[in-house]
Amino acid sequence: MTKNKSSIRLTRRDYGILRDAAKYGMVVPELLQAQRFAGQKPAAVQSTLRRLYGHPPEYRFLRPEKLDAKRVYYRLTSRGCRQIGVSRDASRKLGMQAVAERYATTWFISADLAGGRSLLDPKEFPEQFPNIRERLPKKRFHTEQVGQTVRLGYFVTDLRTDVRRLVRQSSTVMRRFIERRWFDDYLRHDRFVFTVLTFNESKAVEIDTKLRLTFQQQLSRPLQSIGLQPAGTESIAVRVLVVPGLDTLIPEPR
């Protein structure tokens, strides 16, 4: 029996790491430290990952992939999928755009506000969101705890998208949510936030300015028409965050 095929005892944290890999499509060492190793040194992260991926060519539960010129991420192997009872689809190699999106999602959910955010599929909670009958984008909704308040949010990742196009698409998405009246309670009580994840400060400022203005111009009337916004108040809470390390994952347009 080869070393990689030998049985190793997995800890609760090991299982958590494998489930993270299934949920996000990857685990990234520097982000994993915030997720699962708070207060510990990077060496503890690397030691755990080495035990989970073993040695090439027959990796154990995880296998390394190139993230950029200096970094790697880890995705599930078929054995890793079996170990946690998920479809082998969770072990598929990601394309370039998917890598950037999954990286941004992992940072936003698990590292930016460690322990404070969770991915959410509203259709899995029909009692709370009874009016949703249409397909919703996957891995875009989240909840977050802010003090004693739980907010619902929707986020998009800027993959060097033209700002006007990004703002237009964002406004279209929010208008749909308002007109379908899916999230009235959250909107009515200022507990809905729209987030854009981008890669540098200058673009973040531009997106923030134009998105707030467009939401005010295009969403105020739809909100007022269904009694969700007093005249003169901000239409939707907007947040634009810079994801550290995202810029190297999105090629510059030629």
Averaged over 93-107, what is the pLDDT?
Answer: 95
* CB contact set of 118 (below 8 Å; sequence gap of 6+): 109, 142, 143, 144
Identify whether the C-beta of residue 142 lies closer than 8 Å to the C-beta of residue 113: no
Task: Give, in order, the Cα–Cα distances in Å from 241 to each of 127, 140, 203, 234, 244.
Answer: 32, 15, 10, 19, 9
Residue percentage of the chain with pLDDT more than 70 = 93
What are 109-152's pLDDT values in tens digits? 988 876 789 998 877 777 777 777 777 777 799 999 888 888 99
Distance CA 30, CA 68 (A): 13
Structure token pair of residue 178? 């308002």
Averaged over 57-66, what is the pLDDT?
Answer: 95
Structure token pair of residue 143? 């909840």
* CB contact set of 107 (below 8 Å; sequence gap of 6+): 31, 197, 243, 244, 245, 246
The domain ranges of the chain are 12-94, 112-249
Distance CA 128, CA 245 (A): 36
Domain 12-94 adopts which CATH fold?
Arc Repressor Mutant, subunit A (1.10.10)
What pLDDT sits at residue 128?
74
What pLDDT sits at residue 1?
45
Which of residues 180 and 6 earns the better pLDDT score? 180
What pLDDT sits at residue 3?
52
